[in-house]
């Protein structure tokens, strides 16, 4: 077994013994192609949100539909992530990702049809939103599993971090590109153009030299058992302190905070600003994404923050402080600064937790374990609107966000203390 593999899989520091290289994963030509095509697909996802949400608002003016859009995006991750990971374990992850891209393209084309014919009804919008949500859950676990096959364990942290950076780059560019498309082509032709942006990833995967035929590990993959895979996966990882602690970390962060504060940005902008709320809202969102981008590029350029469970917990705790600082900021400048720090820290701990889970997961069920992690890290975001949003309607959005951050901080201290009592799982 190669030295890098032995050291990264069997220690709490996956980078121990591996030479530190800036942007290590980008030295792999397969990852470069995957990174660029995935970043385009992430941007297309963001553009679709910009165009479709604008049309839905103009046509229906329905807050309930906006709430449904959030639920339809995250609930599939909660209900089907492990099953999606099992599909990627059992079959070719390239084809699972391609199926997700096909669903994304069908969603864009469906929006375009109803925009052109001006026949969009609410139930049709809800159906397309559900299709879009399932596209995302097919893409997620299979994409992470394929990363492991492309770069191997030695460069996995770099690949996960850069892939997450590409996601934030797409989120940052998506509104700008989507707004430009709206102005130049209008929503109907713009959404048709957006469908084509998913094609590069789908086409590259067609002949990419990865998947079952190229694996050196020929151990049989477990049979698929539907939702029974969730129970089997939980039982299978129960004895691994690292996987359990990172899954709990991601789930608690997702449930208590998630990205629910982004939905409340217009109110924060109104409370903090003294001008055009739309401009201030955009700057606040950009600060969060820009912090994440800086984290990806800065940490990769120096190969900093090697993946270790304790480091991930510390990063989450600092994230809680940054979010609480934003919630209670007395001035707009402080709010932007805290959000920038929050974006930096969020990408750092999410990429680190994902890396540790993938490195420690058994090869035969890696997709299922990744799916379980995604179920926790993304699916539980469906409930963060309760802790932040509903709480905000009772005590004010500033206090609800600050108290949610304080609660998460206390939970992280407790989980870290609990998991530190047990001997390390080898």
Q: In angstroms, rounded to a whole number, what is the distance separating the alpha carbons of residues 76 and 375?
A: 9
Are 78 and 376 spatial neighbours (Cβ–Cβ below 8 Å)?
A: no
Kindly indicate the confidence band of residue 135, based on its pLDDT and cuts at 50, 70 and 90.
Answer: very high
What pLDDT is recorded for position 350? 87
The gap between the terminal CA atoms of the chain, to the nearest Å, is 17
Does 321 have pLDDT greater than 60?
Answer: yes
What pLDDT, on a 0 to 100 scale, did the predictor assign at position 112?
94
Residues near 339 by beta carbon (within 8 Å), at least 6 away in sequence: 284, 287, 288, 291, 322, 326
Residues 195-228 have pLDDT tens digits of: 999 999 999 999 899 877 776 665 556 655 655 6
- CA distances, 178 to each of 202, 390, 423 (Å): 21, 30, 51
CATH class of 234-426: mainly alpha
pTM attached to this predicted model: 0.76
Q: Which residues contact 277 (CB under 8 A, 6 or more apart)?
A: 266, 269, 270
Residue 410: its pLDDT value, please? 93
Centre a 10 Å sphere on the Cβ of residue 220 and count the other Cβ atoms it contains.
Answer: 6
Instruction: Assign residue 186 a region (left: φ > 0; alpha: ψ between -120 and 50; beta: otherwise).
Output: left
- When pLDDT is averaged across residues 117-127 and rounded to a whole number, the result is 92
Same fold, 26-212 and 234-426: yes
**Residues in CB range of 347: below 8 A, 6 or more apart:** 161, 164, 165, 168, 291, 292, 295, 296
Provide the CATH number for the domain formed by 26-212 in this structure: 1.20.1250.20
Ramachandran sector of residue 13 (left: φ over 0; alpha: ψ -120 to 50; beta: rest) = beta
Decide if pLDDT at 273 tops 90: no
For residue 208, give the DSSP letter.
-
CB atoms within 10 A of CB 210: 19
Per-residue pLDDT for 3 more than 60? no
Task: Tell me the domain boundaries of the chain.
Answer: 26-212, 234-426
Q: Is 223 helix (H, G, I), strand (E, B) or coil?
A: coil
pLDDT band per the 50, 70, 90 thresholds, residue 33 = very high
69, 381 in Cβ contact below 8 A?
no
**Of 25, 315, 309, whose CA–CA distance to 162 is shortest?**
25
* pLDDT the model gives residue 215: 67
Average pLDDT (174-201) is 86
What region, left, alpha or beta, does residue 175 occupy, with left being phi > 0 and alpha being psi -120 to 50 degrees?
Answer: alpha
Torsion angle in degrees (nearest 10) through CA of 47, 52, 55, 57: -110
Q: What is the pLDDT of residue 227?
A: 59
Mean pLDDT score of the chain = 81
Q: Is 176's pLDDT higher than 80? A: no
pLDDT at residue 306 greater than cutoff 90: no
What is the DSSP secondary-structure string of 303-324? Answer: T-S---HHHHHHHHHHHHHHHH
Helix axis angle for 63-90 and 93-117, nearest 10°, is 150
Look at 56 and 266; give whichever has higher pLDDT: 56
Task: Report the distance separating Cα 45 and Cα 104, nearest Å.
Answer: 8
8 Å CB contact between 366 and 240? no
């Amino acid at each position: 077994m190669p030295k890098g593999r032995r050291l990264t899989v069997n220690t709490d520091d996956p980078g121990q013994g591996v030479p530190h290289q800036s942007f290590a994963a980008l030295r792999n030509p397969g990852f470069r192609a995957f990174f660029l095509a995935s970043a385009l697909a992430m941007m297309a996802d963001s553009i679709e949100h910009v165009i479709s949400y604008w049309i839905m608002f103009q046509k229906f003016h329905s807050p309930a539909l906006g709430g449904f859009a959030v639920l339809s995006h995250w609930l599939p991750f909660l209900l089907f992530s492990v099953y999606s990971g099992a599909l990627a374990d059992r079959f070719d992850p390239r084809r699972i990702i391609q199926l997700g891209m096909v669903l994304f393209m069908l969603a864009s084309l469906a929006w375009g049809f109803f925009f052109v014919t001006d026949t969009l009804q609410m139930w049709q919008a809800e159906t397309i939103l559900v299709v879009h949500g399932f596209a995302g859950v097919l893409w997620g676990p299979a994409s992470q599993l394929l990363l492991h096959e492309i770069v191997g364990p030695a460069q996995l942290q770099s690949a996960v971090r850069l892939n997450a950076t590409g996601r934030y780059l797409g989120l940052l560019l998506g509104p700008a590109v989507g707004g430009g498309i709206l102005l130049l082509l209008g929503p109907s032709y713009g959404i048709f153009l957006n469908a084509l942006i998913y094609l590069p990833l789908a086409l590259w995967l067609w002949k990419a030299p990865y998947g079952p035929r190229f694996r050196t590990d020929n151990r049989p993959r477990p049979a698929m058992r539907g939702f029974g895979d969730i129970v089997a996966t939980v039982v299978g990882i129960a004895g691994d302190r690292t996987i359990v602690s990172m899954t709990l970390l991601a789930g608690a962060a997702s449930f208590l905070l998630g990205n629910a504060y982004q939905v409340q940005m217009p109110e924060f902008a109104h409370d903090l600003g003294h001008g055009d709320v739309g401009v201030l809202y955009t700057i606040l969102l950009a600060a969060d994404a820009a912090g994440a981008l800086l984290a990806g590029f800065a940490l990769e350029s120096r190969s900093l923050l090697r993946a270790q469970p304790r480091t991930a917990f510390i990063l989450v705790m600092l994230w809680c402080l940054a979010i609480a600082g934003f919630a209670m900021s007395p001035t707009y400048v402080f709010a932007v600064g805290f959000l920038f720090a929050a974006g930096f820290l969020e990408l750092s701990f999410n990429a680190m937790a994902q890396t540790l889970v993938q490195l420690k997961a058994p090869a035969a069920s890696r997709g299922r374990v990744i799916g379980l992690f995604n179920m926790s890290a993304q699916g539980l975001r469906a409930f963060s609107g309760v802790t932040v949003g509903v709480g905000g309607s009772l005590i004010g959005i500033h206090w609800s966000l600050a108290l949610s951050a304080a609660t998460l901080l206390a939970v992280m201290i407790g989980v870290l203390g609990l998991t530190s009592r047990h001997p390390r799982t080898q």
